[in-house]
Each structure stands twice: as structure tokens, then as C-alpha cells.
Structure 1
Amino acid sequence: MTLTSASSAEEIIDYLRATGSEENVAGMARFAIETGTALGVSNVALRRIARQVDKDHARADELWRSGIREARILAVFTADPKNMALPEARRWAGDCNSWEVVDTLADLLVAARLEQVLIPEFAADEREFVRRIAFAMVATAAVHLKSEPDSTILSWLPLIEAHASDERNFVRKAVNWALRQIGKRSADCHEAALALAEKLAESNDRTARWIGKDAVRELASGKVRRRLLDRPIPRPTSPDR
């Protein structure tokens, strides 16, 4: 079966079912990927399929509604950011049950330029994977929104500080990721992010302390300082002090 831009959601799902493998499903599980609906098609193969079928926003929503892991990732790859409205974004976010799908969706929501509304909204949401989307979006925005002023990116540091004590695994890792990505964006961002990381590293809260120490370890490294600061490198403070 050959897939084209005219292929329906049903035809694409049939193709996914035919090409998946149990071996791949087992491999995904080792990376804490939710495999309850997985068919065992790799992301490399999904990107190739996405190029074959091209973008179709209505079909992407059909793929998403199937609930199948591969179909949802393919939905994100083939959705049109210009057509991604807030109600749909919120619905998709609420459906997420895997960090992998969350992080893929975060890229789409930033491309759709919904970050100003959704980052604070999702950060305030108590659902683990919805909150993770907020910080995955921060990390994505810090890297990809190059034309945005640093002040926009820095405005999310208070959210990082506010939620640094969320001990849930998929949240704390995303908060840490967001802090590190902000700190690697520019010299100004580096200074502010490193200051917050050092503050968190001294926290009495175990989760916040882990987030801070891990971020300090990277942001105070010679490699990051040389790239951003282009000045003599002071001896970094040990994250274990």
C-alpha cells in the first residue's frame, strides 16, 4: 500500500497496523513510553510517512481521535499550525498520557504561536501531562522562537520557580529542561536562569534542589559559558555544595 496526500485517516491507520512490530513496542517501553495503544512504528518511519501524506488538518484530528500512539504522533506531524485553535489545542493536551506525545505536541503548539496563552494556563493545570506540556513549550520556545525578545522567554522563569517542587517525574524533568534551555539561549538568559538554578539548588525542597543542582551543573559548565559569554570562565560552583 502506498500512502499519498489523498490517503484517509483510516487508510493511514491500516498502514500503521501493517508495519508495526512487537519488538519496537518492547523497545519503547524501556524508555517509559506509554505503549498501551502503540503499534510499534518508529518515529523515523512516522516522519517519512508524514512527508508522504503531507499536511491535512482535518485528517490530523481524525488521526488524533483514534487514540493510537503512532496516529497521534502522525497527527501532530501533519496538523497545520495555522489552523490549530485554542479549543482543539486544549482537547489534544487533555488527551495526552505519554511524555513522548506531550513533547511532540509542544512543538506544534509553539509553532501555532499559542504559547502566550497556553504556557501559564497549562502550568496551572494539576494534570501531570498537561503541566508537562507547559514546560515542554517553554523549552521549545527558548530554542526556536529566535525572533522573540529575551524578555518574553525570561517571563516564564517565575513559573519554573513556582512549580519546581512538583515531584512528579514527568513534570520535574520538564521543569528542569525548560530552565536549562532558557539558560542556553543567550548571555542575558543565562545569567537569569543560572541565578534561579543556584537559588533552587539551595532549596529545602528535594525536587526543587534536584532541578537546581542539575541545571547549575550544565549552565555553569565551561562549554556553555564559552559559547554564550565569550569571556574568562570563573571556576563553577559545585552543584553539590
Structure 2
Amino acid sequence: MIAHLQTLRSEDNIAGMARFGIVTETAIGISNPDLQKIARLAKKDHIRAKALWASGIREARLLALYTFDPKSLTEADARTLADGFNSWEIVDCAADLFIEANLDALIPDFAADTREFVRRTAFAMIAGAAVHRKKDPDESLLAYLPLIEAHSTDNRNFVRKAVNWSLRNIGKRSHTCHQPALALAERLASSTDKTARWIGKDAVRELTSEKLLARLG
């Protein structure tokens, strides 16, 4: 599988990825849509996915995340994967996998982790759950608002953006979620902390848009 990926190498794509903040040290230069096509053909294979991840190659790791079997993924597996997180795109792909695998119990632990990309994972998972876990009660998402507030002063780029993302996604989820999320956004917007203020103001802007309010009714 890795040999096949190597045949698709593109130096131009690697240069383009770097402009979007993608870590390219081990990159081959295959786009995510093309990797997803390969993943659909390859199908789920937990053992193969672990081998692909162990290679350390960007594309192999993304392909691993696309082809892990969520039903077989354990908390121990997820923690092992998190130890190797080094970019936002890997984190965001992994977060979707972790949510699909129902590993929500890891969110508080990941949020407490001081490593930038591990902490981002917690809030990427919350953001993903707000969108993809449609059958979950709204209260399960609202329960994360204190965690969002607690980490709203983390000024590291990939953390603050994920904290903001999770707050906005909760607020957009439903009429029930909107008001509590907006109240937190407004509180953060008036904070004396620069990062919390940015998170709050940006969330307020989206959560008070006419288009969203019309959709929520």
C-alpha cells in the first residue's frame, strides 16, 4: 500500500500543502479527496491501518484514519494515536474517527493534556459531535460549555480555533443549544483576556447571523 502511495508523489502538491499549514516533512503530496477514494477501494482493515500509521508518512497516516474500523478502535488505540499528532489535519480527521468510535470519554483527558494538538483533539471532537451525533440529546453537548470556557484563554493557534469551532457548532446545533452557547460567547466577548475575547466575538457574530436565526426558528 505504501509503495503504491509513493508512485503518486507530487512535489507541486507538497508545496501547495505547506501554504495551508500542513506538515509536509513526510508528505508524498496526495490530496485528501484522492486519499478518500483510495480508502473507499481499500475498505476498513484495522491491522493494516495500524501498520500504515506506524510508517509516519502523512498520506499513510491519513489513509489509516480513513480505514480504521471504528467498532474495533479502543481508548488505548486512540491515546497511542494522539501521541503522534503533529498537525491540524491529522487531528481533525482523527477526531471524526474517535466520535464515530464513541470515545467521548477521552474528551476531558485530551482537553487537560498540555500538548497543543492533543488539546485541539478534544474540541475538534466536540465540534464533530455537535454535527454528526444527531441522535445525542442536546444536553450532552451543552455539558461541554464549561470545558470550552475553561480553555478559552489558551492562545495557541490550533487550540483557540478549535475552542471557537466547538462553541459555534454547539450553538448552531438546535434552538435548545443556541441560547446557552450564545450566552457563553457573549460572556467571553467581554473578557479581559485577548484570546477569550476573540473566541467570543467570533462566535457571537456567527450565532447572531440572520441566516442562522432563521434556520433555528
**TM-score under structure 2 normalisation?**
0.99
Distance 2:83 2:120 in 1: 11
Distance 2:61 2:111 in 1: 22
Distance 1:164 1:94 in 2: 23
Q: Which amino acid aligns with 1:102?
A: V
Q: Does 1:140 align with 2:128?
A: yes
CA displacement at 1:59 relative to structure 2: 0.4
Deviations 1:68-105 (A, max 9, x none): 11001100100000000111100101101000000000
What corresponds to 2:163 in structure 1? 175
What corresponds to 2:213 in structure 1? 225
Q: Summarize the alignment of residues 97-108 of structure 1 with structure 2, pairs less than 5 Å apart.
A: 97-108=86-97
Counterpart of 1:55 (choices 44, 61, 67) is 44
Distance 1:188 1:200 in 2: 20
What corresponds to 1:8 in structure 2? none
CA displacement at 1:42 relative to structure 2: 0.5
Q: Which amino acid aligns with 1:203?
A: S
What corresponds to 1:70 in structure 2? 59
Task: Describe the SS at the equivalent of 1:55.
Answer: coil
Q: Does 1:204 align with 2:192?
A: yes
What corresponds to 1:32 in structure 2? 21
CA displacement at 1:26 relative to structure 2: 0.7
Q: Which runs of 5+ in 1 are unaligned?
A: 1-11, 231-241
Q: Which amino acid aligns with 2:62?
A: I
Q: Does 1:17 align with 2:6?
A: yes
Distance 1:137 1:51 in 2: 23
Distance 1:44 1:140 in 2: 19
What corresponds to 1:130 in structure 2? 118
Deviating runs (4+, > 6 A) in structure 1? none
What corresponds to 2:182 in structure 1? 194
What corresponds to 1:4 in structure 2? none
Counterpart of 2:32 (choices 3, 28, 43) is 43
CA displacement at 1:188 relative to structure 2: 1.1
Q: Does 1:161 align with 2:145?
A: no
Pairs aligned (count)? 217
Superposed CA RMSD in Å reads 0.5
CA displacement at 1:174 relative to structure 2: 0.3
